[in-house]
Structure 1
């Protein structure tokens, strides 16, 4: 079986199911496990990268409002790869190429190809588990998928049990800096598992745009900055925009030095096997007395600190 995965989380799921060798193609954003970078990238962005967050937001909004897509697929490359199945998503037009856009971009190939299409669009922890199950069934490894779901559930439950009885930590997340967006979907659930209370994000709902007044009125104990698709270094490069915001220094989290930069790209924006790692990162931040800082420097840093060098 030849598999093309056009979503980083799906690529991680496929590899966790022991099917790395069946992968023949990936999206331009699939980068974990690291050896998948040797696979040809079937997609690319339709706009220049290396822009600021505000410029990226404006460009993507203009593209989507014009009925176009921020992503392009290569039908000629797909034809050469001869996949039996292509897996993508229809959760978010700006996160990865959607199944409708894939069909439009590769119509000349798909019309004559014997290939199955699967779309996964989880927005909650349970739906992440369900997507793993669905992928396992389609790829004929249902037992492996069931084992992976059980393992993830058990490991998340260990974190939940470890923090039980500890004081709850109020938190606000920022999934984009300019303009501001807070994290929804599965992130509020991860915060709850780690012993926190997300004051703005709603479990299972799409991540909403917010204004700074919402952050100021919430005045959380912890401010967690995890921009979608951004590494910690990327976030550091744009952090000054937040620090210049009127009222920033008055926030409790800022005064008490409880502002953290998290790797959104590798952890919090990927609904796959590393949701455990994401919950563990949150637990390390909320409860340093209970969890060793295994991910400090790579998955999270306090604002003002340096990122770890591999």
Structure 2
């Protein structure tokens, strides 16, 4: 029998896990993605049932969820299996800051805590506005965000927007609306010609190696390489379109651009 609001929720990505904890509704979570690390206690409190593009369907079914929360076309196969098994699934597909805020409010509606979710989203909106309004020197530093190193992939929509809010200028801003990573592939020459002042890198779950970036053919004259301004931003705080990106992820960008006391 379907239950509203749902009491048993499985989250197949990290951002809905963090949102439920921030809403004080973590007791509803009965299973999480293996990538869920925020807040830290989730690792010991909740069973892991999925990676990103694969999931243990029998394990999820055994948890008897009222609702499974998924994200993006990359989880469409998992969603199809769960739907065929009779499970209610909501798949989010947010790719920009407006989408992240809508996800928070939609999740609140799905679980019956509309006002609390709206308060949470409004708090993030105020925070973003305050950081965007902070006086910064002009012109803004040019920033290249590298989401992957082979091939070179520039930052997703929300990352590009956060760079702007932090007072930087994304050198590949024109690619921000392209959802698929393959549509944000850039050439080494294009990065060189863009001459970024800062390179931010987050290689989707593997450690960034600045020395490897510096050794790329023809990159020694890029201002960011010449001035040693290559900064890794850990993927859990920037590559998932949720609360982490709007808080620790944005703060990391601000620090990379303006220093620790900015």
Q: Same fold by TM (over 0.5)?
A: yes
Task: Give the structure 2 partner of residue 305 of structure 1.
Answer: none
Q: Would you say 1:73 and 2:94 are equivalent positions? A: no
| Distance of 1:107 and 1:84 partners within structure 2 | 12
Give the Cα separation in 2 of the matches to 1:222 and 1:276. Answer: 20
Match of 2:155 in 1: 183
Residue 195 of structure 1: which of 167, 181, 195 is its match? 167
Q: Unaligned stretches of 5+ in structure 1?
A: 46-70, 292-310
- 1:289 to 1:85, Cα distance in 2 relative to 1, 3 A: closer
- Partners of 1:166 and 1:195 within 8 A in 2: no
Can you give the 5+ residue segments of structure 2 that lack an aligned partner in the other structure? Answer: 1-6
Q: Is the Cα–Cα contact under 8 Å of residues 168 and 197 in structure 1 kept in the other structure?
A: yes
Q: Tell me, yes or no, if the aligned pair for 1:73 and 1:106 is still in contact at 8 Å.
A: no
Residues 290 and 73 of structure 1: is their aligned pair in 2 closer, same or farther, counting only changes over 3 Å? closer
Displacement after TM superposition at 1:170 (Å):
0.9
Q: Offset at 1:290?
A: 5.0
Count of aligned positions: 250
Deviation digits for residues 214-248 of structure 1 (CA, Å, limit 9, x no counterpart): 11000011111122234xxx113xx4432331112
RMSD: 1.9
> So what's the TM-score if we normalise by structure 2?
0.89
Instruction: Give 1:27-106 correspondences, 5 Å limit.
Output: 27-38=33-44, 39-44=46-51, 71-91=53-73, 93=74, 98=75, 100-106=76-82
1:141 to 93, 108, 113: 113
Which position in structure 2 is the counterpart of 1:249? 220
In structure 1, the partner of 2:242 is 272
Among 4, 15, 19, which residue is 1:13 paired with? 19
Structure 1 length as normaliser, TM-score?
0.75
Corresponding residue for residue 171 of structure 1: 143
The structure-2 alpha-carbon separation of the partners of 1:164 and 1:235, relative to structure 1 and needing over 3 Å to count, comes to closer
Cross-structure match for 1:214: 190
CA 1:143–1:173: 2 relative to 1, 3 Å:
same
Call closer, same or farther: CA 1:145–1:204 in 2, change over 3 Å.
Answer: farther
3-state secondary structure, aligned to 1:135: helix
- Structure 2 partner of 1:153: 125
For residue 89 of structure 2, give the secondary structure of its aligned residue in structure 1.
strand
Distance 1:107 1:120 in 2: 15
| Structure 1 moving runs of 4+ over 4 Å | none
